[in-house]
Amino acid sequence: MIAEFKIRIPLTKWEDTPVIARFACDNDELYQVATEQATDKAIEIADAVEREVRWNFQGSPQGHYVGSGYRLKTTSI
């Protein structure tokens, strides 16, 4: 499974936000393992850029969000 990552751009829809990275998860057969790996990678990205990150598996519209606290921080400035 390939996970795709996007970094929140203020005032931009997620659909209009470019994919900034792709990550091949180790195990295609175990969805839970792949989900944990992608979430861990999203946390690393969110902490590095201090922004909310959305990830989904390539071809899937189902998004997963990490770092929403950073979004709250940037909107209050």
- What's the domain range around 45? 2-75
Write down the pTM of the prediction.
0.85
Sorting pLDDT into bands at 50, 70 and 90, what band is 43? very high
User: How many structural domains is the chain composed of?
Assistant: 1
The chain-wide mean pLDDT, for the chain, equals 89
| CB atoms closer than 10 angstroms to residue 68 | 12
